[in-house]
Amino acid sequence: MKYILLILIIIFPHFVSAQDSVAEIAVGEAGVDKDKFVIDDSELNSLNGSQTNLSKEFIDILRNNFSFYKHKFNNVDYSEKGKDSYSRPQLIKWKESGITYFVSSQFSSAGSSIEAQFRVWSVLTGKELFTGKLKFDQASIRPKAHQLSDSIFRSITGKPSIFNSKIVFVSDRATYGKDTVKELYLMDFDGNRVEKLTNFQSVVISPSVAPDNSKIMFSVIATHKELSRSRVKITKNIDLKMYDLKKRNFTTVSDRPGINSGAIFSANGSVIYLTLSFSGNADVYEMNLSTGSMRKVTSHYADDVDPSITQDGSLMTFLSNRSGRAHIYTMNPSQTEKDVKRISFVGQFNATPRFSPDGREIVFTSWVDSGFDLYRISSDGNNLSRLTKNFGSNEEPVFSPDGEFIVFTSKKILSKNKAVQDIYIMNRDGEILGQLTQDFGRCFSPQWTNVLK
C-alpha cells in the first residue's frame, strides 16, 4: 500500500497536519481601463410566446458570458434601450453615453426554430465589426449562444475567448454507502450542461485533456485479479486510462504496479509525462503514446509527482519532497535531472503546480494559515502573488486556455459534520467571478479543454 500513502501525502498533502507560520502576502489586484459594452434587447418579429421567452434567454446567456470578462468590459445594463437598434442603430446616443461597443440583434420565427441576426458596432469609430446569422431552438440555445459570443469577442479583441471551452472534473456524487465513488464529468465553462463520462464505480483522479480535445487521460483505482497457486489473488492499483471522446471508448495506457497517475499531454499530443512508482519511489517519466517507449525525467530518492509542461516543452514544473516537504520545482525535461530548481518557498507545503498557456507563470496551492490557498508565481520563481484569502480551503487551480481565468476547488465548512466542495472561477488576479457547481457532491480536479484557434 506504499503507493496509496504516496498519493495521500504527496499529491493530496491536506491529509498532513501543519503548524508552521508563513509570511503574509497580499491578494493580487489589477487595475485596467475597461470598455463600456452593451448587448441591447432584441427586435422581435412574429414570435409566439414560447419563442419570445427563448429569445430573451438567448440574450441573457450572451450577457452572462461577457460578465466573465468584467476585467475587460464594463457590461452596461443600459436603462434606455435602443428602439429598433438593429434596423436603425443610434450610434450617436451610445457615443454620448460613453458606450464603446454595442451589440444589436433581430429575432424572427423560422418554424420550430428562431432565426437570429446580430451586428457588432465600434461606437467610437462608427464601424460595423461583425454581422452574423444563426438558427437555434431550445436544444441548441446554449452551444449556439456560446459560439456567437466567441465570434463577438473575436471581432472586438482579435483573440479567442473561453466561451467554447468546457471543464472536465471529478465528483463523488455517485457515492452510495460507505465506499467513496468518484467519476469523471464534463460541463460548459459556465457550469451548465453537465455530462457524466465514466461509470467505473471506483475512484477516478487527475484528469488531463489532449491538445485537440479528442481524448482525456485520467487515473482510476482498479481491481486486478491474478491466479496464484490455483487461487485468485485480488489487488488494487492506480491505473492510467484514456477516454476517446469521439469513439466513446476506454483504453489502458499504463497499469504497472503502483502509481500510474498525474499524466499530462505534450503540446502535439504524441508524448505524455506521468508519475510512475513501479521501480520504488515516485518519479516523472516521459512516454511515447505510439511506441510505449519511456525514459526517466526525474531520478531522485525523494518522490516527484504532478508534472506540468510548457507549450514548447522547454520547461517542466513538478511537486517534490526533496526539501523534506512537498514544494514546487522546475527543470529542463529534455534530459534526466537537468537544471532542477526549487521555486516555491511559501507555506509549509505546496501542491498541483500548473503553467499558464504562455509558460510565464505557475499557479499552485500552498498550505498557509491552517488551510490551503492559491498563489501565482513567475516561472523563474519571482513575483509571488497570493490569489485567495478567507475564502475556505482552495486547491487544484488551473489556467484557462486564454490565460485570463483560473478554475479551482474550494471547500467550505458548514458545520462540525458537514462540508461542501465546489468548483469556482476567478480571473487571473484573484477576483472571484462565480461558483460553477452546486449540489453536485464534492468536486475535484477541474481541467479546461483547449479552445482551438
As a CATH number, domain 35-157 is 3.40.50.10070
Domain definitions of the chain by residue range: 2-30+166-448, 35-157
- Residue 125, classed as helix, strand or coil, is coil
pLDDT tens-digit series, residues 32-82: 568 899 999 999 888 888 999 999 999 999 999 999 999 888 877 665 566
Query: What pTM did the predictor assign?
Result: 0.91
CATH topology of domain 2-30+166-448: Neuraminidase (2.120.10)
Nearest of 127, 120, 158 to residue 39 by alpha carbon = 120
User: Contact, 149 vs 165, CB < 8 A?
Assistant: no
User: Contact, 48 vs 25, CB < 8 A?
Assistant: no
CA dist., res. 448 & res. 399, Å (int): 8
Q: What is the pLDDT of residue 79?
A: 54
Query: Can you give the three-state secondary structure of 329-379, one letter per residue?
Result: EEEECCCCCEEEEECCCCCCCEEEEEECCCCCEEEEEEEECCEEEEEEEEC
The residues of the chain scoring below 50 in pLDDT are 1-31
